[in-house]
């Protein structure tokens, strides 16, 4: 029986609503996945995240591999117990962190800026894996497909992502093709590791607590690469599906602007719709409001992104204002004496508690932790409402009306 079931489809697009069964409960799709990269949704307790309506969070195997280490987390009962989260966890494999050490953010790389983890650096990307300097202490470290699978098994992930190379935008087609082929070979090695360790009670590493991989109910997602080249994307979808994975993630460079990104996503989903319509589709690192709306229409089932929590830490609230990218910058002087709420009818603690934009401006300008917490709760409430509206609209057969209203500035949950 498939772990993913589609319960409704939109006849005018590829959008669908579904249920993904994991070892720690159901995930309702379309789903937005908040980041708990270092075993914490920053500023919030696990109960608060669950109360907002989220079924799943994302932990980052790369960061947790470096600190505190997969062995320690396994000894303490796995990532669910370690962070006090009882629902599903998906773990990123480390491929994007390799990219960020070399190129910074996606925007940095596209615009030719040098960014990344300043005290960490890639030493080499080879067939065996990646050698790098840790951003924590500068020590030389190695991560490859087997390392990533071992760490994710130690964490006890419900959804394991294959180790891949996140191909940059500013490279030629030949490099992208060679990198994508290597990602496919790494995918095979990930699968071999899981098959070899799919037995009860086998120790994963010296000193680690015994646990299983595969038979523990974890799902495995391959990652589609191929840059901005349609034929490479099509080939990559074929390679990922041939691996027999439980789900498919779309990653790598998606282009230099939104129009190109939607085109690249469309190539991948089109192939998946034709060949494996029953498998869940995850879009890595994407979560802007307009991107969620459009990519649900394109047929994506789940998303992860730092956007709502990162904006909150910088004093930015999400509001129904498409003309300003759904953003309200509270540190602007115009809000200093404002008695307005962030959003009328919003059930988050800031809005429900009657806190004014003037007060939140004061907290944001002062760098108060209370402000970051309140805005994090507000932004995650906004995104939960948005994705919930999209899901309900697919089920009720009114997605076209719902997306038109949201793009025109309707508030989620209205």
Q: Kindly list the distances between the CA atom of residue 31 and the CA atoms of 119, 223, 281, 376, 392, in Å, as whole numbers in the listed order.
A: 34, 18, 11, 18, 12
Gap between the Cα atoms of 317 and 406, Å rounded: 17
Map tokens 């080249």 to a residue: 229
Gap between the Cα atoms of 242 and 372, Å rounded: 44
Containing H/E element for 28? Answer: strand 25-29
Q: Given 55, 92, 158, 331, which residue is catalytic?
A: 92
Q: How many C-beta atoms surround the C-beta of residue 275 within 10 A?
A: 12
Containing H/E element for 260? Answer: helix 258-275
Contact 133, 121 (CB under 8 A): yes
Tokens of residue 111, six digits: 């615009």
Q: Given 10, 164, 266, 304, which residue is catalytic?
A: 304
Contact 167, 180 (CB under 8 A): yes
Gap between the Cα atoms of 296 and 29, Å rounded: 10
Helices (H), 31-119: 46-51, 61-66, 70-75, 79-83, 95-103, 106-110
Instruction: Look up residue 208 and give its DSSP letter.
Output: P
Active site residue 304: yes
Active site residue 92: yes
Gap between the Cα atoms of 142 and 125, Å rounded: 10
Tokens of residue 75, six digits: 């000894």
Gap between the Cα atoms of 228 and 293, Å rounded: 21
Rounded to a whole number of angstroms, the CA Rg of the chain reads: 21
Gap between the Cα atoms of 409 and 151, Å rounded: 43
Gap between the Cα atoms of 340 and 358, Å rounded: 8
Closest CA to 91 of 38, 25, 44, 21: 38
Q: Could you give the residue numbers annotated as active site?
A: 92, 304
């Amino acid at each position: 029986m498939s772990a993913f079931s589609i319960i409704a489809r939109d006849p005018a697009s590829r959008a669908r609503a579904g249920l993904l069964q994991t070892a720690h409960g159901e995930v309702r799709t379309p789903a937005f996945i908040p980041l708990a990269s270092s075993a914490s949704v920053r500023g919030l307790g696990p109960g608060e995240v669950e109360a907002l309506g989220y079924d799943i969070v994302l932990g980052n195997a790369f960061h947790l591999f470096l600190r505190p280490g997969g062995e320690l987390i396994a000894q303490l009962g796995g990532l669910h117990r370690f962070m006090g989260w009882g629902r599903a966890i998906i773990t990123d494999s480390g491929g994007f962190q390799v990219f960020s050490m070399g190129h910074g953010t996606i925007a940095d790389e596209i615009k030719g800026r040098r960014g990344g983890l300043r005290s960490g650096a890639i030493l080499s990307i080879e067939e065996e894996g990646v050698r790098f300097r840790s951003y924590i202490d500068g020590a030389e470290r190695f991560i490859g497909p087997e390392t990533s699978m071992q760490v994710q098994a130690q964490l006890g992930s419900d959804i394991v992502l294959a180790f891949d190379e996140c191909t940059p935008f500013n490279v030629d087609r030949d490099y992208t093709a060679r990198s994508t082929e290597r990602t496919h070979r790494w995918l095979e090695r990930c699968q071999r590791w899981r098959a070899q360790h799919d037995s009860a009670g086998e120790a994963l590493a010296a000193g680690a607590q015994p646990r299983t991989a595969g038979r523990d109910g974890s799902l495995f997602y391959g990652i589609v690469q191929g840059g901005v080249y349609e034929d490479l994307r099509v080939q990559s979808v074929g390679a990922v599906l041939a691996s027999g994975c439980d789900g498919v993630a779309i990653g790598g460079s998606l282009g230099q602007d939104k129009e190109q990104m939607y085109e690249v996503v469309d190539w991948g989903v089109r192939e998946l719709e034709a060949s494996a319509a029953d498998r869940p589709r995850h879009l890595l690192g994407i979560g802007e409001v307009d991107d969620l709306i459009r990519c649900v229409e394109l047929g994506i089932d789940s998303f992860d992104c730092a956007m709502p929590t990162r904006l909150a830490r910088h004093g930015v609230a999400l509001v129904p204002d498409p003309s300003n990218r759904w953003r309200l910058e509270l540190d602007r002087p115009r809000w200093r004496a404002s008695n307005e709420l962030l959003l009328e009818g919003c059930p988050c603690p800031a809005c429900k508690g009657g806190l004014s934009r003037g007060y939140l401006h004061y907290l944001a300008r002062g760098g108060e932790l209370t402000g970051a917490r309140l805005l994090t709760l507000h932004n995650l409430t906004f995104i939960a409402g948005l994705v919930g509206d999209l899901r309900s609209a697919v089920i009720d057969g009114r997605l076209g009306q719902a997306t038109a209203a949201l793009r025109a500035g309707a508030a989620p949950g209205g």
